[in-house]
Amino acid sequence: GQNIDQPTEMTATEGAIVQINCTYQTSGFNGLFWYQQHAGEAPTFLSYNVLDGLEEKGRFSSFLSRSKGYSYLLLKELQMKDSASYLCAVSTFPYNQGGKLIFGQGTELSVKP
């Protein structure tokens, strides 16, 4: 089956660093995505990993270990506007057979002053 796990909730302080973990067990793997979603709004793309290692994009970094079925999203210099749900998603099909994403339940991050 397909299983993607992430913590339900996290709290962090403005200006701090927070790491949101994601573990996955899927039939096939073709990339892992992180999305940010504010309540009632559309998910917005943050980062993508297909090979092991760290991808850095400004205040956001994402890490992938395929052998461990593990990824994390690192958010630095937290701002109040970073309070949102963070969704881990895995693409399970080869690119030429589709590209659907399997999403985790999301981690609700609250940033406190």
- Using CB under 8 A as the criterion, which residues of the chain lie in contact with other proteins when the complex forms? 30-31, 33, 35, 40-45, 48, 50, 87, 89, 91, 93, 95-106
Q: End-to-end alpha-carbon separation of the chain, Å?
A: 40
- Percentages helix, strand, coil for the chain (3-state, rounded to 5) are 5, 55, 40
By C-beta, is 42 or 67 nearer to other proteins? 42
- Is 49 within 8 Å of 62 (Cβ atoms)? yes
Closer residue to other proteins (CB): 70 or 93: 93
Spatial contact of 71 and 64, defined as CB atoms under 8 Å apart? yes
Of 41 and 77, which has the nearer Cβ to other proteins? 41
In whole angstroms, the minimum distance from the beta carbon of 93 to other proteins comes to: 6
Minimum Å distance from CB 87 to other proteins? 7
